[in-house]
Structure 1
Amino acid sequence: MKKRYDYVIVGGGSAGSALANRLSADASASVLVLEAGRADFIIDPLVHMPAALMFPSGNPLYDWAYETDPEPFMGGRRVKHTRGKLLGGSSSINGMIFQHGNPGDYDRWAAAPGMQEWDFAHCLPYFKRMETRLGGANAWRGGSGPLHLERGPATSPLFQAFFEATVQAGYPRTDDVNGYRQEGFAPFDQNINHGSRWSAARAYLRPVRGRRNLDVTTLAYVTGLTWRGTRVTGVDFHRMNRTHHVDAGEVILCGGAFNSPRLLELSGVGDPQVLRAAGVTPRIELPGVGENLQDHLEVYLQHECLQPVSIAPWLKMWKAPWIGAQWLFLDSGVGASNHFEGGGFIRTNDEVPYPNLQFHFLPIAVRYDGSAPASEHGYQVHIGPMNSDVRGHIHITDPDPAVRPSILFNYLSTERDRREWVEVIRAARHILAQPAFAPFDAGEISPGPQVESDEEILSWVARDAETALHPSCSTRMGTDDMSVVDPASMRVHGAEGLRVVDASVFPTITNANIYAPVMMVAEKAADLIIGNTPLAPERPPVYRADGSMPIYPPGDPRNKAWDAVPRVPSAAQAEAEHPVPPRRVGSHR
């Protein structure tokens, strides 16, 4: 390790891996990546076997294992947040679901002052640059990027019943939720390549580790930034029980929605009142640091299955050697899939211009961490509102970097969020009650038919919901007083030599899993940091349920870029137009 680098990247996770690759492509620029966790060892099956995704959760070798403060609208319980603590970050332990989000997400970003070049047309070229889609490139997808994607087969009897049920319920199929139309149901793209997890570290970092101008240091816990006036000059970090310092021309924070605002506040950047209460002397006043925190909350709607067609038997420990051998030597078998192979997006009401509910279907009834299978055979959908108006915060409470921050999302705290939760549950039940599931359905086991009224549904959600692990938006881009990062440069307002590039810069959360948007932001940020000419915007037609609802101000020509096409029914319309035939309530073991 040298004493000084042109770029010091704090965090070797998803965004940090992409930036390390792109910035070090210039042989004259020296780049250092400091990762608090360990390496993503190629021999570690808990990282690289897709089906092993449940095991790193809660393990301190892989997981920061954060948890929230008592959530006031969820009975005061704390919600655990798994975050990757190794090279590749959360992309090395996540569910490997790859989704762009809806074009409307980015047009909503761009509607804010100063954010015009973060609309979908300007973001799409960066999505395409980063991906290699099985089947090749088209107007919406890339074909030669570092992120290799496989499409989930979703061919099991339960997946086929699910897709048939969605059509019976009045919803469309789509050929690609990352293509022309997100709204509808289809197999999902997965960050899997030849049966192995294809994390950001494998895609971006591992291929360039041999570059002489790139150093990667693991087990390096950054404790603070060093300053000269308002310019950041370097970082301090702990490694092997020693304190180290490295000088930097630029410091780029890539710690995610928790660690980036945390380090800013430890270094005196934030709301002066919050900083003083934590015992930190304010240096740069930015009241938005740690505010605007957002996430996706989800529940599992589970059914017992009449037929032995789920993947539950493969969870038996005596089958582990066979699963491992099949995966290791043949790149196939149960171990080679994340099993979230398909799902879809719908609108739960006519007030939303694009989907606000995502379904992940899973051919087993089991919790995300693998605990307590609900029955020998079952199936479930993971569901929750995608565009909640709930807002939280993450703030330090002590100047000691070892003290965990205060994290509060305020789940279920708004009237709109609670209303959408009731719509979400009713929409999912409508689909799972369709005739296609009749040969399989032995009855709902969670929450169970006794949970029916609005109040009962919300009480169950408060007791049972978990995070979908998509924390974001806590150092958001923008030009107003509560923004933290300049959207044209990724620089922290009021500071020199300091940038943030990760999920924390999102203005609002996207309506899908956030890994692909994080990588898009990193790709686009790399060009902004280097000073490259940005990729030219692209405007292929995209589906909008209501062509009359403009994203931009009336008269703005960008509104004309979108095709107006026939509407897809909302959940309420579908349920009214496609009632469920009477059927028996199944057994409950």
Structure 2
Amino acid sequence: MTNPDAAPTTYDYLVVGAGSAGCTLAARLADACPHATIALLEAGPSDDSVLIRTPIGIAALVARRTRYNWMFRTTHQAALDGRQTWQPRGRGLGGSSSINAMVYTRGHPGDYDDWKAAGCPGWGWSDVLPYFRRAEANVRGANAYHGADGPLIVSDLRDVNVFSHRFVEAGVQAGYVRNDDFNGETQEGVGIYQVTQRDGERWNAARAYLHSRRRHNLHVITQAHALRVLFEHRRATGVEIARDGRIETLRARAEVIVCSGAFGSPQLLMCSGVGPAVALREKGIEVVHDAPGVGANLQDHLDFTFQKKLPGDRDTVALTVGSAPDWLRRFAMYRRERRGLFASNIAEAGGFIKTDPSEARPDVQFHFCVALVDEHGRRLHYGAGYSLHVCVLRPRSRGSVGIASGDTREAPVIDPGFLNDPYDASALLRGVKAARRILEAPALAEHGGKELRTHALHTDAELMAAIRSSAETIYHPVGTCRMGSDAGAVVDPDLRVRGVEGLRVIDASIMPTLVGGNTNAPTIMIAERAVEKIVGAQRTVSARSEMTAEA
């Protein structure tokens, strides 16, 4: 990392946030503009941790408050029995790609065509597919859908748990097709997920884009918490940061680029004076630009989980009196070969299905976990078992992100508005009943076991009550700095913040609508796509300057 005492204070580009988007953007921009200087600012630490590198470390990273997890909480959700739900978010280099389940999915092609139709030219499926391929190094090789030369390693799991295979077989028995590539010709079906791993280790965005090689023009500065974007006459000119107990100012000659995620980006904009004017003035913040859309349009995948406890110590992740020797054996195997349970992402299998034949594309996603995952892993259970997660892919409910004060070091106010739209409740109930049919199929049912808390629930009313009492996020918040061509959009299709100059937002917050799948790969794609827009804009400025000089 950069030595704070030796680092300059002025750069061409300041990139705020070193998550999936920030790592991708900063590295690609440094490569594309070798004569420009880029500073990548991250509030958290380096990602040099065995918990991050070892895939099974997700159990500690997601469930517990650590230096790598912001562990936010939502407001009380009326439709979820008034509960506050957890919102794990990655902190440190790699962001949420350092703590996620490593599942590589892109969503459905129709999701991106929806973006284009909603006023985002250049963001349709045919436009974004080349950038997915550019980012990817798929171990299966290149084809029309996949890349093989990118920095993001996409692998098959080295050792798939026998129960993951049984889930896929049960899904087929329940009437769904087997799918060996959810990112290929079709998304629908059940199968084993590909993961962002290399040789049994997590391959987060920082390993993919930052650590691959040293770039002389890229300065990565950790433990630097962005307090606000600085403006001069409505042009972003720098960022004020808190570092080592001091307040410092870094300047940007060309642009400030915010990549702080669906919660952090709107919070930083609002604390900088860009957001709903009334709300900003209430917090004593001077308004730079009245932008009511900042913080609005929050969307997330609400998730319900079945847990099934198995008799005895049966192949899955087990916490029993006699399991200690197995854990030692598995750990020794991982140290020697980077194989076995410690190389598992736990959510090994899953699927995309239609709960209603009239749907044009899958409306529900499954994540099958080879462990008893309860409350994100915060609640531990004695014994062996597995879990089946269900989420609605395109929720119609909309929430918001607000600010508690003008200080970004205070947690944002997160209100996902879960189940505010009746469609989401009915779709999730259909998904829960579809998941139950898979659990009852012979490939799983013949191994016995009993559902925790849900075994006696069968009617729609009983299952809906269970959803309201226990459903939580599956960690895919997006949309709070919406992209579009209309006056209410926060950023335009080039990801420039409307109403000001020299400022862009590039991360999952710009998604107009939530894609039908996990969001890490789409976020990386957004950053890959954005680099060409930034470079193209800079070339235009340079050309105009040369023409003016000649004249």
TM superposition shift of 1:479: 1.2
1:223 counterpart residue number: 227
1:219-276: CA deviation from partner (whole Å, max 9, x where unpaired): 0001011111110110100100011111102110000000000000001101111111
1:166-220: CA deviation from partner (whole Å, max 9, x where unpaired): 1121111122101001001121110110011000000001123x22111011000
For 1:245 and 1:29, locate their aligned partners in 2 and report how far apart those are by CA, in whole Å: 19
**How many residues matched?**
527
1:19 aligns with 2:28: no
Which residue of 13, 16, 41 maps to 1:10? Answer: 16
1:363 counterpart residue number: 370
Alignment of 1:102-251 (within 5 A): 102-113=108-119, 115-152=120-157, 155-208=160-213, 210-248=214-252, 249-251=254-256
Which residue of 375, 378, 387 maps to 1:380? Answer: 387
Inter-CA distance 313–442: structure 2 relative to 1 (3 Å threshold): closer
1:391 counterpart residue number: 398
Q: Is the 8 A contact 1:262 1:290 kept in 2?
A: yes
1:482 aligns with 2:488: yes
1:273 aligns with 2:281: no
Inter-CA distance 317–205: structure 2 relative to 1 (3 Å threshold): farther
For 2:295 and 2:324, locate their aligned partners in 1 and report how far apart those are by CA, in whole Å: 43
Give the TM-score, by structure 2 length: 0.92
Inter-CA distance 157–34: structure 2 relative to 1 (3 Å threshold): closer
Which residue of 338, 346, 350 maps to 1:343? Answer: 350
TM superposition shift of 1:277: 1.9
Alignment of 1:281-292 (within 5 A): 281-292=286-297
TM superposition shift of 1:531: 1.2
TM superposition shift of 1:497: 0.7
Structure 2, unaligned runs of 5 or more: 1-6, 539-551
1:394-444: CA deviation from partner (whole Å, max 9, x where unpaired): 011322333222110111111111111210111111111112223212232
1:66 counterpart residue number: 72
Q: Secondary structure at 2:14's aligned position in 1?
A: strand
Q: Give, as a single letter, the amino acid of the residue that structure 2 aligns with 1:336.
A: A
1:85 aligns with 2:91: yes
TM superposition shift of 1:330: 1.9
Alignment of 1:547-566 (within 5 A): none
1:327 counterpart residue number: 334
2:499 counterpart residue number: 494
Range 174-183 or range 270-279, more displaced: 270-279
Q: Give, as a single letter, the amino acid of the residue that structure 2 aligns with 1:220.
A: A
Q: Give, as a single letter, the amino acid of the residue that structure 2 aligns with 1:525.
A: A
1:101-149: CA deviation from partner (whole Å, max 9, x where unpaired): 1101111111112x12111111100000001111101111111110111
1:412 counterpart residue number: 419
Q: Give, as a single letter, the amino acid of the residue that structure 2 aligns with 1:232.
A: A
TM superposition shift of 1:385: 0.8
Alignment of 1:27-46 (within 5 A): 27-41=34-48, 44-46=49-51
Inter-CA distance 436–311: structure 2 relative to 1 (3 Å threshold): closer
2:543 counterpart residue number: none
TM superposition shift of 1:4: 0.9
Q: Give, as a single letter, the amino acid of the residue that structure 2 aligns with 1:19.
A: L
Give the TM-score, by structure 1 length: 0.86
Inter-CA distance 240–321: structure 2 relative to 1 (3 Å threshold): farther
1:23-71: CA deviation from partner (whole Å, max 9, x where unpaired): 1112201000110000011xx2111000111212332311111111111
For 1:298 and 1:137, locate their aligned partners in 2 and report how far apart those are by CA, in whole Å: 33
Structure 1, unaligned runs of 5 or more: 534-589
Which residue of 96, 101, 111 maps to 2:102? Answer: 96
Q: Is the 8 A contact 2:154 2:196 kept in 1?
A: yes
Q: Is the 8 A contact 2:19 2:92 kept in 1?
A: yes
2:260 counterpart residue number: 255
Q: Secondary structure at 1:304's aligned position in 2?
A: strand
Which residue of 523, 534, 546 maps to 2:528? Answer: 523
Inter-CA distance 372–70: structure 2 relative to 1 (3 Å threshold): closer
Q: Is the 8 A contact 1:131 1:146 kept in 2?
A: yes
For 1:206 and 1:4, locate their aligned partners in 2 and report how far apart those are by CA, in whole Å: 23
TM superposition shift of 1:159: 2.2
Inter-CA distance 170–319: structure 2 relative to 1 (3 Å threshold): closer
Inter-CA distance 60–162: structure 2 relative to 1 (3 Å threshold): closer
2:410 counterpart residue number: 403
Q: Give, as a single letter, the amino acid of the residue that structure 1 aligns with 2:234.
A: T
The root-mean-square deviation of aligned C-alpha atoms, in Å, is 1.8
For 2:319 and 2:332, locate their aligned partners in 1 and report how far apart those are by CA, in whole Å: 14
TM superposition shift of 1:323: 3.7
For 2:93 and 2:251, locate their aligned partners in 1 and report how far apart those are by CA, in whole Å: 22
Q: Is the 8 A contact 1:365 1:375 kept in 2?
A: no
Identity, in percent, stands at 39
